[in-house]
């Protein structure tokens, strides 16, 4: 059987970019341009909790890194590199090869090469920990506490697909192969908005990536900034893949559905044209969905301008109900 070191060499060691020391030594080494700060973040993915045990390993490799790159994007940081911690219940090389393929393809696309990690056995199940490093000018970083009254609120891409795919796969919605085919890629192959995030640095005020649901994640910005928000339900970019779903199901998916990895950000109204230009350049659609208020409340208005009652909340690991 292959040793731990053979596996690392075969599946995780890649030539490090010029000027960096990658996999193979006690530490990786990299530089940050003068005046920039290191942005770093880590995410833990646990079998049965964050992914289904039988998920396509290539998609899992992609998503493990994608959700971390998404955090860099939400800070406006430029990716530098990443570390991968793997706890494996058993060594299945075809599985590892596909996982590594998906991981390295995402790394290449985002310019976030794998430069180190740790690998261990774990009979208790598969666990994946990814840490990313990026660089950002501190004064341009898209912090959660930077939203200001009068800012426009924007969101990238479309909303709702991943939530519906998750409900179909977990049996919370009756099987519907056509609907699953239209929504599954959003859940398993999320596309982190790293080009948009970097373009927004210095242009937008606050940003967050939507991992737990639009209302919950926007709520983090509002609390950190001491402000409130008014959203217009009709301005939310509902995915066309969800056409025909009951209105309450759709509303819940759009307002509270997690695993989206689109950016929600706030910016001065005067920056509207520059934001649209940045989004076009990054190849991502953006929608203006509301405004930041001084009043610390979060309301969603219907087509008649009346606040929706009983707003759904997002996903919370530690909530008991």
- Which residue's CB is nearer to ligand ADP, number 110 or number 204? 110
296 near ligand ADP (CB under 6 A): no
211 exposed, middle or buried (CB, 10 Å; 0-12, 13-18, 19+)?
buried
Q: Does 114 bind ligand ADP (CB under 6 A)?
A: yes
Binding pattern for the stretch 23-62 against ligand ADP, x by CB under 6 A and - elsewhere: xxxx------------------------------------
Q: How far is the CB of 92 from ligand ADP (least distance, A)?
A: 15
Binding mask 163-202 for ligand ADP (x = CB under 6 A): ----------------------------------------
Give the x/- contact pattern for ligand ADP in 73-112, rule: CB under 6 A.
Answer: -----------x-x--------------------------
- For ligand ADP, the closer of residues 84 and 245 by Cβ is 84
CB of 119 to Mg ion, least distance (A): 7
Query: Which option in Mg ion, ligand ADP, none does residue 119 bind, with CB closer than 5 to 8 A by kind?
Result: ligand ADP
SS (H, E, C) the chain: CCCHHHHHHHHHCCCCCCCCECECECCCECCCCCCCEEEEEEEEEEECCCECCCCCHHHHHHHHHHHHHHHHHHHCCEEEEEEEEEEECCCCHHHHHHHHHHHHHHHHHHCCCEEEEEEEECCCCCEEEEEEEEEECHHHCCCHHHCCCCCEEEEECCECHHHHHHHHHCCCCCCCHHHHHHHHHHHHCCCCCHHHHHHHCCCCCEEEECCCCHHHHHHHHHHHHCCEEEEEHHHCCECHHHCCCCHHHHHHHHHHCCCCCCEEEEECHHHHHHHHHHHHHHCCCEEEEEEEECCCCEEEECCCCCECCCCCCCCCCCCCC
Indicate the residue among 86 and 255 with the shorter CB distance to ligand ADP: 86
302 annotated binding-site participant: no
Minimum CB–partner distance for residue 65 and Mg ion (Å): 19
Number of residues that bind ligand ADP (CB under 6 A): 13
Annotated binding site for Mg(2+): 26, 41-43, 71, 118, 209, 212
Residues forming the site for ligand ADP (CB under 6 A): 8, 12, 23-26, 84, 86, 114, 116-119
Annotated binding site for substrate: 50, 259, 315
Annotated binding site for ATP: 117-118, 144, 211
């Amino acid at each position: 059987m292959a040793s731990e070191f053979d596996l690392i060499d075969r599946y995780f060691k890649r030539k490090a970019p010029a000027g960096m020391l990658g996999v193979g030594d006690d530490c990786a080494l990299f530089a940050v341009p003068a005046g920039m700060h290191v942005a770093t973040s880590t995410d833990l993915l646990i079998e049965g909790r964050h992914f289904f045990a039988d998920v396509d390993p290539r998609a899992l490799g992609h998503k493990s890194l994608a959700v971390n790159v998404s955090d860099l994007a939400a800070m406006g940081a430029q990716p530098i590199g990443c570390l991968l911690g793997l706890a494996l219940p058993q060594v299945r090389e075809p599985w590892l090869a596909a996982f590594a393929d998906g991981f390295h393809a995402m790394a290449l696309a985002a310019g976030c090469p794998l430069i180190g990690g740790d690998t261990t056995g774990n009979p208790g199940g598969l666990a994946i920990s990814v840490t990313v490093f990026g660089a950002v000018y501190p004064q341009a970083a898209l912090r959660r506490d930077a939203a200001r009254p009068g800012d426009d609120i924007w969101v990238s891409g479309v909303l709702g697909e991943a939530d519906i795919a998750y409900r179909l796969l977990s049996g919370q919605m009756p099987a519907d192969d056509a609907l699953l085919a239209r929504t599954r890629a959003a859940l398993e192959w999320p596309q982190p908005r790293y080009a948009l995030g970097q373009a927004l640095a210095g242009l937008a005020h606050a940003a967050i990536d939507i991992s737990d649901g639009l209302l919950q994640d926007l709520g983090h910005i509002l609390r950190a900034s001491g402000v409130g928000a008014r959203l217009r339900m009709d301005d939310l970019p509902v995915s066309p893949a969800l056409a025909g779903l009951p209105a309450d199901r759709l509303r819940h998916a759009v307002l509270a559905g997690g695993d989206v990895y689109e950016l929600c950000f706030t910016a001065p109204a005067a920056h509207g044209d520059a934001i649209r230009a940045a989004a076009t350049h990054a190849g991502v659609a953006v929608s203006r969905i509301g405004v930041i208020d001084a009043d610390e409340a979060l309301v969603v208005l219907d087509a008649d301008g009346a606040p929706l009652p009983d707003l759904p909340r997002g996903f919370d690991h530690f909530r008991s109900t």
